Structure 1
Amino acid sequence: MRVAVTGGTGLVGKALCRFLTDNGHEAIVLTRKSTAKAEAAAGPKSKGGGVRFVRWLNDGDRPEKELKGIHAIVNLAGATINTRWTEEGKKRIIESRLQAGEEVNRIISAMENKPAILVNASAIGIYGTSLDHTFTERLDADGEDFLAYTARKWEAVAGKASDLGLRTVLCRFGVILDSDEGALPRMALPYRLFAGGTVGSGRQWISWIHIEDVVRGILFAIDNPNLAGPVNFTSPDPVRMKDFGRSLSVAIGKPHWLPVPTFALKLMLGEMSVLVLEGQKVLPKKLLENGFSFNYPVLDQALADIF
């Protein structure tokens, strides 16, 4: 199988490309960078061989000419949300996703033989935050904060691929757990410094997923013709933040004792503090109903593997 991947040098993109090539598939990464810089950013080559890089989003780029015979496009491109949310930062977060999505649609339109499926990144932030509700794909995505607004715009652009005849899957990612990148190393650092403890009230939910299950879930979505539309990429074991902290302290072998007050995080992070101070309990109903089996369904299992 041949798969085109945008955002192929990010957390999910790198893991996906390694998984594809390790299992005998071909990964073609669309990148703004030169081939040499993209290869360096992609990290070590997998045991299955290298990844092919194709330029896009530069003047004159026509990546569709290099994508003949692809079965799927996985669009993960977008500026990181892990930066202070100034007005300029917000604009960059939104516009990078919309630009990438529109270019993916242009590429698909230009292809004579189109891929069967578009898998597009999104986020569980689309549901908004709640201490009491449980969210599945069947509930309205009617959050009112910046993350919800961004995710709705993102999904609206990706949804245009359906009009082009592609089965479209919108991966609503929860907090992705990885040893080296993403939120987990930042969350683990205070514990390593013997300063870990409950963040904020501790009652907020954290709906997480192991990076390995993210990648396996994407391949499952590509192979499963019954999956379309929004799909929650979270484990079936969401937990409260206070319980997440306790499990993290056990996995690292450090104490859980020093609370991080809400006001301090708001001072440090500004509006971005919503990422750790508020949350939502999200269940992967569609993945489970279609027979997906998580390698790491329980938090303690996931943290034990990572640490």
Structure 2
Amino acid sequence: MKKLIIAAGTGFLGQVLVAHFKDKFDEIVILTRGKSKISDSIKYVNWDAKTLTGWENELENASVLINLAGKSVDCRYTENNKKEIYDSRIDSTKILNEAVLNCKNPPKHWLNSSTSTIYRFSLDKQMDEFTGEIGDDFSMNIAKSWEKAFFETETPKTLKTALRTSIVLGKNGGAFVPIKMLAKFGLGGKQGKGNQFISWIHEKDFARAIEFAIEKELTEVANIVSPNPVRNYDFMKTLRGIIGVTFGIPTNKLMLEIGSFFIRTETELVLKSRNVIPKKLQENGFTFEYETLEKAFKNLIKQ
């Protein structure tokens, strides 16, 4: 009896995983802040991601636990939002550690969200799991605290993997939808200098990489990114070519600052250079279906 638990699994990435794993597990349980229910053979169980209220019983005899909990960073970095970003990641990870330790038969493998943003801004060096350089700013320090909360509690019966995930490109969610709309309206030019790298992964490869990490029992940290980060300029140019838009108005840093204020987000989401590669996945034999950005975009547009 194979059982999968996905904590905070009702969002974009959770639904990508449910679609991928629905025929690979006998039972799937979603921990959600919504109401407990059963829908389409998926069991939804309410939790607050902070306290033990009964949901923890679902972890008994689970094969895999995947935790996706964490407030979106697509917001203004006010003090309140920064606290919520921090607390939502740390609290959920700590309470899951407690729940796992309390199990008689805990999950065999726990994969916890992290982020490729943990690495420093890099125009010069590709960051892998072994030689990548960890940075020091608000987002990077959040990531470090997140992984510390995950790994500092030993779970002798449960393998642990931190998923350092990049931008996931999907048809129905994530960053691709708004970026595609900008490009269609002629706003798909370079952002800032345009030389910053974007690390990305197609939604199907995201799910496949997690399945691979489970099958191969990869532990510690794993970069869940495509092997080909691209510069912002080339990212936008490739997208324009796929959707048939001949021009894209560039957006300088000042314009981005003004725009981000009005849409209540931060410019670092597009200006930081994330130059990350999936060395651990590749060294263990993982192959990508969507290795190039052009192939990924063509698939997402075709859908």
8 Å CA contact 1:198, 1:245 repeated in 2: yes
- Aligned match of 1:150: 142
Counterparts of 1:178-257 in structure 2 under 5 Å? 178-225=170-217, 227-257=218-248
Output the amino acid matched with 2:147: E
**Cα deviations by residue, 1:220-249 (Å, 9 ceiling, x for unpaired):** 111112x11110011011110000001110
Inter-partner Cα distance in structure 1 for 2:282 and 2:290: 13
CA positional deviation for 1:63: 1.5
Inter-partner Cα distance in structure 2 for 1:135 and 1:117: 25
Within the alignment, does 1:27 sit opposite 2:28 as a pair?
yes
Output the amino acid matched with 1:206: I
Aligned partner of residue 213 in structure 1, secondary structure: helix
Within the alignment, does 1:294 sit opposite 2:288 as a pair?
yes
Inter-partner Cα distance in structure 2 for 1:157 and 1:59: 16
Segment of structure 1 superposing worse, 67-76 or 55-64: 55-64
Within the alignment, does 1:264 sit opposite 2:255 as a pair?
yes
- Aligned match of 1:89: 81
Cα RMSD (Å) of the superposition? Answer: 1.8
Aligned partner of residue 66 in structure 1, secondary structure: helix
Aligned partner of residue 114 in structure 2, secondary structure: strand
CA positional deviation for 1:22: 3.2
CA positional deviation for 1:68: 2.6
**TM-score calculated relative to the size of structure 2:** 0.92
CA positional deviation for 1:24: 4.6
The 1:163/1:110 distance shift into structure 2, 3 A limit, reads: closer
CA positional deviation for 1:165: 3.5
- Aligned match of 1:15: 16
Task: Structure 2: state its 5+ residue gaps.
Answer: none
Aligned partner of residue 74 in structure 1, secondary structure: strand
Aligned partner of residue 144 in structure 1, secondary structure: coil
**Cα deviations by residue, 1:15-70 (Å, 9 ceiling, x for unpaired):** 1112111335421111121135xx7xxxxx7xxx5211122227661222233321
> After TM superposition, which residue ranges in structure 1, 4 or more long, deviate above 3 angstroms?
22-25, 160-165
CA positional deviation for 1:161: 4.9
Aligned partner of residue 267 in structure 2, secondary structure: helix
Structure with bigger helix share is 1
Segment of structure 1 superposing worse, 136-145 or 175-184: 136-145
- Aligned match of 1:127: 119
- Aligned match of 1:171: 163
Inter-partner Cα distance in structure 1 for 2:8 and 2:25: 21
The 1:85/1:291 distance shift into structure 2, 3 A limit, reads: same
Question: How many residues matched?
Answer: 296
- Aligned match of 1:160: 152
Inter-partner Cα distance in structure 2 for 1:275 and 1:158: 24
8 Å CA contact 1:105, 1:160 repeated in 2: no
Output the amino acid matched with 1:186: P
**TM-score calculated relative to the size of structure 1:** 0.91
Within the alignment, does 1:76 sit opposite 2:77 as a pair?
no
- Aligned match of 1:42: none
Aligned partner of residue 281 in structure 1, secondary structure: coil
8 Å CA contact 2:59, 2:107 repeated in 1: no
Inter-partner Cα distance in structure 1 for 2:153 and 2:286: 25
Inter-partner Cα distance in structure 1 for 2:28 and 2:104: 20
Inter-partner Cα distance in structure 2 for 1:116 and 1:256: 51
The 1:54/1:190 distance shift into structure 2, 3 A limit, reads: same
Inter-partner Cα distance in structure 2 for 1:136 and 1:53: 36
Inter-partner Cα distance in structure 1 for 2:90 and 2:139: 14
